[in-house]
Amino acid sequence: MVLLSSRVRAGFALPDLLGLLVVLAVAASLALAATRQMRQEAQTASSLSQLRWMAGATSAYAADSGDRFWSFSWKAGPLPHSDPTLPATASSDLAAAAIQATDIMRRLTGRSDIEVAAASIPHVLGNHLPLVDYVGARLPEFNLIAPGDRHRLNWARDPAAFDRVAFVSFQPEPSEAAKRWPYSSSYVAPAAWWDTENRVYQSLSHRGYIIPSGAAFGGAPLHDVAHPSQKVMVHDQEQRELGGGGLYCVDAAARTAMLMGDGSAGVKAAVDANWGWLPSHPSSSGYSRFRYEPSAWEAPVGPTGSLVIGRYRWTRGGIAGRDFGGPDIDTGQL
């Protein structure tokens, strides 16, 4: 007698397999999104921690500097340095600041090949240097580079590679002045904190500034800050990864890490800020507008286009003004 047996074959039918692949893909996507969110939250927390460190250093600096914000202190005339390869005198406060910036970078990096950038405004991207010098740090100072600022971090980790143009298009064109970029900061102070007469104003590009006669440079007196919790003191130049891709700080869609005049740090949306003013016409109701024309290492043009409003970079009334949480102060425009 022949015994017949049948075996049930176990396995996935094609629809079952496709369904499983979909489930796995969704799970992987959710895990990736969660990991990305965790990284963004960690970077945000690190940025805010850096800004709070700056707040503490600002208070200490002010206590030793007549209640003034950190900025270049050298003035026109004989200069207080001992470097025989640097100019002994300066024809203007701006020239003195450029020489002071070079002196600080040379001392804190051990590099004697950094030259004076005579045509620059060192306060724009180098105003952190007096603070670094004050706290006795070295350069590069990684506590002043946002964790999401990957290009600046690359430069700072290997300034020699930067000098060899190893980062190709993701760095400025090589020049004597460009050697200072690895020692720059992600965080900048609006002009009113170092332009004490509110004379400097924006040109047509985000990199351009106009300096009229009579401009006075130096740290602004902190007791003149009328609305500390509403006035931006330091801000990141870009959004980085705070809830999306990189955006220029005053793009209407940007959310940027910033330090306020009262020492509090947080992430604020540019769209919530007042529109600012034209320092050259303080009683006008007009506001600063300029084009954001990024280089390869900067955030791309955002969804609102290349024409941006100055907002807290050009607060109406300078440090006496208000950026968030209330209307512009009256400087004659009302």
Distance CA 24, CA 217 (A): 60
pLDDT in tens, the chain (334 residues): 444 444 445 555 777 677 777 777 676 666 665 566 666 678 889 999 999 999 999 999 999 999 999 999 999 999 999 999 999 999 999 999 999 999 999 999 999 999 998 888 999 999 999 999 999 999 999 999 999 999 999 999 999 999 999 999 999 988 888 999 999 999 999 999 999 999 999 999 999 999 998 889 999 999 999 999 999 999 999 998 755 568 999 999 999 999 999 999 999 999 999 999 999 999 999 999 999 999 999 999 998 899 999 999 999 999 999 999 999 999 999 8
Domain locations along the chain: 70-188, 189-216+225-334
Give the DSSP letter of residue 75.
Answer: -
Helix (H, G, I), strand (E, B) or coil at 157: helix
Q: Where are the alpha helices (DSSP H) in the chain?
A: 14-64, 93-109, 122-126, 129-135, 150-157, 159-163
Written as six digits, the tokens of 193 are 């904190």
- Per the omega criterion (within 30 degrees of 0), is the bond before 147 cis? no
CB 331 within 8 A of CB 320: no
